[in-house]
Structure 1
Amino acid sequence: MKKCLLIFAIFLTGSLYAQPGNEQVKLNDPTQLVADSRDNLFVMLKYGIGKISPDGKVTDLRKLDGGGNIDKAFNNLIIDSKNNLFASDGSNIYKITVTNDNKVISTIYSGVIGKYRIIDGPVSTAIFTQIDHMAIDKHDNIYVTDSYDKIAAEIGNNYVTDNYYLKDKKLKYIRTFRIIRKISADGTVSTLKNSEGKFIVPNGVSGMACDEAGNIVYTTGGTARSVEKINTATGTFSHVAGKPYKREWCPVYTTGDTSIAELFAPETIMVNKKAEIIYADERSHRITKIANGKVTTLAGNNTIDPCGQNIGGRAQEGLKDGKALTAWFTFPKGLAYDSRGNLFIADKWNNCIRKLSPDGMVSTFTTPNPNN
């Protein structure tokens, strides 16, 4: 009898893991990360999207009924107030819903496959060219960056950008302008302009989010290394932190007052419910906070290499749990809070999700698989 029960238990266990989505999924290159109203995490992977339940169970959405439609490489992932996911593959935006009975419903929300233009209007007919970044505000208005070059002739000199880039003509060689498109909650696509009708074209965007007021907060990469803000009502730019273009090579990481702080390689960014700006620094492998006029390290303590080893700036890789200011990450990317105040971090090269709890402890939430 015991032998029969043992065989039945083995069969039952095997059947469970054979069911679609119940495999022991390993995260491959986790980057963008969002949380729904039930504290489920959704993470953008090298291919497709993973779902992580509050107890840490990982599901590959591609293996669920209807999931084959999202078996592709996305470059952005956001979530609205109704738990709908929106992902972009470059020129198209997909709306993805996971039902209560674990079915995936995926449709093209906006964009036309095979067409690359800048055409505004209803989401059903609007066309995009190169969506680099996406953000969503509390009213479910979506903002995306798109190709400036596609309509550069139309724009001409009729634009505004950050004050730093305009000051020094020597910086023209690092111009990476982008336009910003808005997809309003009612389904209308428009290209952002300021109150004078000038195109809003930020330079060097490496991450983008919306604050509580609906303004766009973004990080700049390359030699800019800063955090900037765009008032979406007026189109005006304001500087938040960092020393844009101060150093071409050999960046330094200096915390303290925003007036003196230097940032290293700010990328993925978010604004939490306390109005604190949180960003992942992908080359120093730290999570940094900007609040109350101060730049502080929230988590991460990887040893920063001397400039001679990498003039672009880099820190040693690793995976270490424990107190936040002793933890190590390797190319942290996506950031998302759950309802309990835990901050989850997509640790790209460790191929896992890390958790920073409100008491300041970092733990590894999903099974790691560090890149060699």
Structure 2
Amino acid sequence: MQKSHVALALGITLLAGCASLPPLFQGAGLAVADGRAELRVRADVTQAAYAPQGLAPSYTANDVDHVALSLYKLDGNTEIPVTGAGGSALILHIPKANLSHPISFSRLKPGTTYRVKAEAYNATGTLISATGTYVDVVVTSDDRPTMATLKVKLLGTRPFDGQATASGIIVTPGGVVSSGSFDVAFLEEPVTTFVGGYHNGSFADGATSSARFYNPSGLLFDASGNLLVSDTDNNAIRKVTPDGVVTTWSSLSGYLDKPMGMTFDNAGNLIIANNRSTIIRVSSDGTVTQISDGGAGPGAASPTATSIGFPKGVAVDAAGNLYATETFNTIRKVTPGGAISTFAGYRDGMYGGFVDGATSSAKFENPQGLASDASGNLYVADSGNSAIRKVTPTGIVTTVAGSYPTKASGFVDGATSSARFSSPQGLAFDKAGNLFIADTGNNAIRKLDLQTGFVTTVAGGYFAGSLTDGSTSSARFSSPTGLAFDSAGYLYVADKSNHAIRKIVP
């Protein structure tokens, strides 16, 4: 039998110009000016492809030291090398360690075709792949991405019976053309898994993917850049270092009963809402005190009672007042002196409503996450009404996004009055003052621009999915809840039903 040899495939994912996207993710796109288009290349080691070879050295993916990418613009069938700032042909040598990071070619002019070629080399500079593989990529006049795969075949020696696979994929229609010099930058995957995931809910400390969570819901960054996670169904508060090492705050184990929302007060104490019991305060020396009575039913607790029934979300304003959502459809307020009152909503039992107005007459239904802005306004994820509400410091409640006064859920971007959500829970502000929303029922992350009053989808959408990283349109979440921004502007998501913490590039 004639010997043939394995050709391992090193997949190169290309992102550029116009998308052929499923209807779910199609949009109008933004027009791209000349010299403004961008091409992104992402390399991943993929399953082997096969190609017949003569006697040849054996190479595997472990032998790859770097991949050389060269870029050409096409004039008919003629390849014209793209040059860098110095005028020489642009050839990028991508180290193996960076193959998982997208490469960005910018300053492109939309309108014609690029051809990208790739070759693999070992540490001695020996070519260890077949030559001549390429992909033609399209950039049109808008900024929606397209994707293709280029296989770089490595020579191997495992015999098999079969035929060689095709080495290239042509993406049609379209094209790109260069304009001036090129900038090259390493880019991060838009949505990644920071820690946890890829498993059923369980409990384990450790680094990144070895850590385990069980329905995490609340997120909060401390002053040192550590991410605190309320690991709800493990009854634990977990700490994640910036490099992804997860540990458990063991001294709190006797004080936690379904922890959900967290915040810091103005003295730096950690506030934790135990959904099945009380709100507690944890001082910097680890001392734990109880802020409220827990769980009393609405029939047994008047609006001036010291109970906060089954608390969920918490937030602190600039004056040091603590606010908490409770299951009985109200927002409760705790002053720095410890006085507890109903701040907004009508505590009339388990029956909520959807009414704007003064705090005493306003109604909510199953309010969840809270966020306070710099002006002292309190924003509420009104989950049961699938709306985002605002409570001013003077006590006026308005609906800032969602269907009002009729309760209607859905998944619609647009102006605040036409935008639709489905059981939103988590809220967080970015540095620019935009409000980000964990749209739990839609398995999506949404953004509300409070200046323009427009709602857009940041990542995910519609249906619950297995834990999937990638572009913002292809990434999948399953019941996202808590949100938190780090100091660099990255958004972290408690992907509850995937038992993971996700990270979104700003």
When residues 27 and 316 of structure 1 are mapped into structure 2, their CA distance, relative to the original with a 3 A threshold, is closer
When residues 38 and 190 of structure 1 are mapped into structure 2, their CA distance, relative to the original with a 3 A threshold, is same
Q: Which amino acid aligns with 1:183?
A: V
Query: Corresponding residue for 1:131?
Result: 311
- CA-to-aligned-CA distance 1:156-191 (integer Å, 9 cap, x gap): xxxxxxxxxxxxxxxxxxxxxx33321123433333
Superposition pairs for residues 72-111 of structure 1, below 5 Å? 72-90=257-275, 91-97=277-283, 99=285, 104-111=286-293
Distance between the aligned counterparts of 2:239 and 2:403, measured in 1? Answer: 38
Distance between the aligned counterparts of 1:295 and 1:230, measured in 2? Answer: 19
Query: Corresponding residue for 2:322?
Result: 142
Q: Is the 8 A contact 1:48 1:70 kept in 2?
A: no
Residues 1:295 and 2:477 are matched in the alignment: no
Query: Corresponding residue for 1:320?
Result: 468
Distance between the aligned counterparts of 1:348 and 1:263, measured in 2? Answer: 18
Query: Corresponding residue for 1:49?
Result: 237
Q: Secondary structure at the match of 2:400?
A: strand
Q: Is the 8 A contact 1:35 1:337 kept in 2?
A: yes
Superposition pairs for residues 268-307 of structure 1, below 5 Å? 268-291=426-449, 292-300=452-460, 302=461, 304=462
Q: Secondary structure at the match of 1:68?
A: helix
Query: Corresponding residue for 2:412?
Result: 254
Higher helix share: 1
Q: Which amino acid aligns with 2:261?
A: N
Q: Percent identity?
A: 28
CA RMSD in angstroms comes to 3.1
Query: Corresponding residue for 1:35?
Result: 221
When residues 88 and 288 of structure 1 are mapped into structure 2, their CA distance, relative to the original with a 3 A threshold, is same
Superposition pairs for residues 161-310 of structure 1, below 5 Å? 178-192=329-343, 199=360, 201-204=362-365, 205-222=367-384, 224-233=385-394, 235-244=395-404, 246=406, 251-291=409-449, 292-300=452-460, 302=461, 304=462
Unaligned runs of 5+ in 1: 1-19, 149-177, 305-314, 359-372
Shift of 1:118: 4.2
Q: Using the TM superposition, name which of 24-33 and 239-248 deviates more.
A: 239-248
Distance between the aligned counterparts of 2:412 and 2:206, measured in 1? Answer: 45
Distance between the aligned counterparts of 1:89 and 1:287, measured in 2? Answer: 25
Larger radius of gyration: 2
Q: Which amino acid aligns with 1:258?
A: T
Distance between the aligned counterparts of 1:193 and 1:342, measured in 2? Answer: 32
Q: Which amino acid aligns with 1:89?
A: N
- Structure 2 length-normalised TM: 0.50
Distance between the aligned counterparts of 1:316 and 1:229, measured in 2? Answer: 28
Q: Is the 8 A contact 2:431 2:489 kept in 1?
A: no
Q: Is the 8 A contact 1:32 1:333 kept in 2?
A: yes
Shift of 1:227: 1.2
Distance between the aligned counterparts of 1:231 and 1:285, measured in 2? Answer: 29
Distance between the aligned counterparts of 1:134 and 1:93, measured in 2? Answer: 9
Query: Corresponding residue for 2:90?
Result: none
Q: Which amino acid aligns with 1:109?
A: I
Q: Is the 8 A contact 1:42 1:50 kept in 2?
A: yes
Distance between the aligned counterparts of 2:240 and 2:371, measured in 1? Answer: 22
Unaligned runs of 5+ in 2: 1-203, 346-356
Q: Which amino acid aligns with 2:382?
A: T
When residues 191 and 198 of structure 1 are mapped into structure 2, their CA distance, relative to the original with a 3 A threshold, is same
- Structure 1 length-normalised TM: 0.67
Q: Secondary structure at the match of 1:191?
A: strand
Q: Is the 8 A contact 2:219 2:261 kept in 1?
A: no
Q: Secondary structure at the match of 1:354?
A: strand
